[in-house]
Amino acid sequence: MNEYIRECGLSGNIPRHVAIIMDGNGRWATKRGLPRSVGHRAGMEALRDLITASSELGIEALTLYAFSTENWKRPRDEVGTLFSLVVEYFNREISELHEKGVRIRVLGDMSRVPQKARAALMRAEDMTHDNRGLKLNLAINYGARAELVRAARALAEDVSNGGMAPDAIDEAAVSSRLYTSGQPDVDLLIRTGGEMRLSNFLLYQSAYAELLFTDTLFPDFDKAHYLDAIREFQGRSRRFGAIK
């Protein structure tokens, strides 16, 4: 257990994989009489401390839901704002993330992502590819159903190429065809913004995740809230179907 964990008042039972549905940016802005884009920017500013804390706590993977396959239904200019924030974020933060040893992976179908954002994301992935620190997954144009469809197709191709027998398809084979391949399942899933639903996020990987819903809007979700969430996780009794 590292010193930082102790300083934070946590036990050594640190979740290996934390996933966050970063919701409530729009309402945060509307409450202040500001345009929703200001809320998205405020959300982006909230990220830094959460990433730093995750790194220092020795969390293995942090997955952030940034744009869902359903978010295309939003007005064009809001979608545009979200992707330009992605570009801005990486231009500004990539060197520091790289220095911290963060490894970036994008979860989602990049083919529909606007070119500039796609380039920034691919550059971030390439640059940090060999890093050994926190695995930072950004779910962008991500939907869990689309991810499972993609995995099913990959398996079907392996079978039809003769490389795999149908009865060799097991949970590990499915897992290894998800975007999160090679990473542990989600231990703690946090949703800010007060809604109690998963909105098509990590359905397979969160099968046994501890769920934590908070009314705090994402731009207000700071390090103290994050540590509280981890503390709550540490107080849960995880039985995985067995008897304690």
Residues near ligand IPE (CB under 6 A): 21-27, 40, 43, 65-68, 71, 82, 193, 195, 197, 199
Q: How far is the CB of 159 from ligand IPE (least distance, A)?
A: 33
Partner interacting with residue 65 (select from Mg ion, ligand IPE, none; CB below 5-8 Å by kind): ligand IPE
Q: Which secondary-structure segment (H or E) carries 213?
A: strand 210-213
CA diameter of the chain = 60
* Span near Mg ion by CB under 5 A; candidates 22-30, 83-91, 96-104, 137-145: 22-30
Partner interacting with residue 105 (select from Mg ion, ligand IPE, none; CB below 5-8 Å by kind): none
Q: 44 CB contacts (<8 Å, ≥6 apart)? A: 85, 88, 89
Interface residue with Mg ion among 23, 147, 187, 210 (CB under 5 A) is: 23
Residues touching Mg ion, count (CB under 5 A): 1
Question: Strand 210-213 vs strand 188-191: parallel, antiparallel, or unpaired?
Answer: parallel
- Minimum CB distance to ligand IPE smaller for 140 or for 151: 140
- Minimum CB distance to ligand IPE smaller for 14 or for 61: 61
**How far is 56 from 59, CA to CA, in rounded Å?**
8
Structure tokens at 79: 């979608």
Q: How far is the CB of 206 from ligand IPE (least distance, A)?
A: 14
- Could you confirm whether 71 is annotated as catalytic? yes
> Do residues 106 and 138 make contact, with C-beta atoms less than 8 angstroms apart?
yes
Structure tokens at 54: 């995750």
Q: How far is the CB of 61 from ligand IPE (least distance, A)?
A: 18
* Span near Mg ion by CB under 5 A; candidates 21-29, 77-85, 93-101, 229-237: 21-29
Q: How far is the CB of 147 from Mg ion (least distance, A)?
A: 20
Taken in order 135, 233, 144, 242, the sign of the CA dihedral is positive
- Could you confirm whether 23 is annotated as catalytic? yes
The helix, strand and coil proportions of the chain, stated in percent and rounded to the nearest 5, come to 50, 15, 40
Q: Which secondary-structure segment (H or E) carries 191?
A: strand 188-191
- Based on the shown chain and the rule CB under 5 A, indicate whether residue 29 belongs to the binding site for Mg ion: no
- Based on the shown chain and the rule CB under 5 A, indicate whether residue 191 belongs to the binding site for Mg ion: no
Partner interacting with residue 145 (select from ligand IPE, Mg ion, none; CB below 5-8 Å by kind): none
* Residue indicated by tokens 């959300």: 43
Residues lying near Mg ion in the complex (CB under 5 A) are found at: 23
